[in-house]
Each structure stands twice: as C-alpha cells, then as structure tokens.
Structure 1
C-alpha cells in the first residue's frame, strides 16, 4: 500500500479501502471522503484527470442539495459566499455546476 504524503485522501482499490490524512481539518474530511468514495463507487484504478473530475462531480452531487443551492441563488450571486454557505470548496462547487450543465 502506498503512503499518503501530499494527498489528503486516497482510494486503494486493491484493498477496497479509503485512507484520509490525519493532517486535514475535521470540516474538510467529509469533502475528501466523499471524493474518495466517488473513486470507489466508480471503481477507478488510477488518478487520471478524467477520474479526478468524475470523483469531484460525484462528491459535489452528494454534498450539495439542489434546493439549498436554489435558495442561496435567490438572495446571493457571490460564488465565494455560496461556497461558504454550502460548506464545500470552489472546486467542488464548480464541478457541481458543470455536472448540472451536462
């Protein structure tokens, strides 16, 4: 098994295991875990840009409630504020928007 060095989390398909770094904030663990679960659900066996994008979209769809986002759009158009209110990263928010456009 490879060690976590710079990664915040990793899906190890050979072991059907996800490892999350103990060096990240607790509030970020759910973001990383959801991303890594996406790799597991889609049975990714590498870290290609395509697979990373798919895992981000999986995480975004599972962490962002469409109704909550619609409410936020009703009173706010500032992406940074929306991201903060949703408790996700800008990257995951943008992945969500892209997945909805497809």
Structure 2
C-alpha cells in the first residue's frame, strides 16, 4: 500500500478518505483520489491502484456508458498489472486452482483485478511465468 501512496505522491495526486457513491473515485480537475473509509486493506489497495490507473491513463469524465466501461476496464488492467506478477499469479493458481475468490485472496487483490489480469494474460499483454 505504501508504494501506491508514494506513486500517488509522485504524480502529485491527493488521496483522501471520504464516503461516496462508489468505493473510490478520481477527480482529474482537483487531482484527487477518493477512497471510502472502512475498507479492508485488500480492497483499499485494489481500489487505490485502480484509481491511480485512471490518473495515469489520463481518464476524464466519461460522456457515454461505453466510454465509462472502457475506462473502467483499462483502469482495472493497469492496476492488475502493477499488483500481480506473473510468478505470483502462477503460484496462486497452483495453490488455489481457478476459483476467483481464492485467487483474489491469495494475491491480496479484489476479484475484479484477478479478472483483469486474466484478460491481460489472454491478450498476451503480460509474460507467463516460467514453470
């Protein structure tokens, strides 16, 4: 979590804990990432990485639901590629099998980020760990 907070600081982003309609949010106008209070560490880590993805990718307010869905997918994939290594994923799969919740627990991320990582693997966008 500390490396994510340092990354936010390096990008001159302010991270605040405040309730909202979702677990997190990124406001490009104020360079602020909002995290809902009271989340488990695994969830907070995943949400922060996702919101950092929005910031890194230059996402602004979505004008259509299709653009919003694309931005959410891209932010999840960006976060997954930063929080899950090929080796860790391979080891988690060997230990836990294909069960999404078990993989998420083992990798210390949310199910959404496991799904995003699996999309990246299918696209060949991340290297596969050596056996």
Matched position secondary structure for 1:22: coil
The answer to whether 1:36 aligns with 2:51 is: yes
- Equivalent in 3, 11, 25 of residue 26 of structure 2: 11
Matched position secondary structure for 2:80: helix
C-alpha distance after superposition, 1:16-61 (max 9, x if no partner): 1211111423332111100000000001002411000000111111
Q: CA deviation at 1:76?
A: 3.5
TM-score by length of 2: 0.68
Q: CA deviation at 1:83?
A: 1.9
Distance 1:73 1:5, change over 3 A: closer
CA contact (8 A) 2:50 2:76 kept: yes
Matched position secondary structure for 2:21: coil
Structure 1 runs not aligned, ≥5 long = none
Structure 2 runs not aligned, ≥5 long = 1-17, 63-67, 124-131
Distance 1:5 1:74, change over 3 A: closer
Distance 2:19 2:71 in 1: 19
Distance 1:64 1:13, change over 3 A: same
TM-score by length of 1: 0.85
Distance 1:26 1:81, change over 3 A: closer
- Equivalent in 86, 103, 109 of residue 82 of structure 1: 103
